[in-house]
Structure 1
Amino acid sequence: MLHLTPTFLVLLVLLVSWYQELTGSIIYISLGLFYILLFWGKFDLITYLLISGPLFLIGILYYISWKQNRITHKT
């Protein structure tokens, strides 16, 4: 059950992100950075890209969505 903790954490962040896109964006990008800082030097570069890359991508997409919604609601 312990090995599922990161999965549950990402699902919890998904739930928060569903309603607050900016918060989700910040958390996803922070999780990617946290992984890189925590395990730096232990793996090859491709490992960091495969694990934290999707977190960065999701964070960037949530940020773009938040920005688009903000622009749409202003006009």
Structure 2
Amino acid sequence: MLTSALDLASVIASKSPVAVQGTKYSIVYSRDHSVKEGLDHVAQWNQMMLQSEDVMKAAMAAIEKKEAKFSKL
């Protein structure tokens, strides 16, 4: 179990810090709001995050078939 947890943590750590923080924030927000409010919140958050440089880094890494390197928050 510990090995699986560490593997999952490694996968999460390799993702965009902006995306990880946004996901955590959206989960906490949705816990205390209706489904519609939660979905609206996620849609608004996604629109804002499309302006992040992490989107371009992820797209370029996918095109080049490399692992993306993201800046720390």
The TM-score normalised by the length of structure 2 is: 0.37
Return the structure number with greater helix share: 1
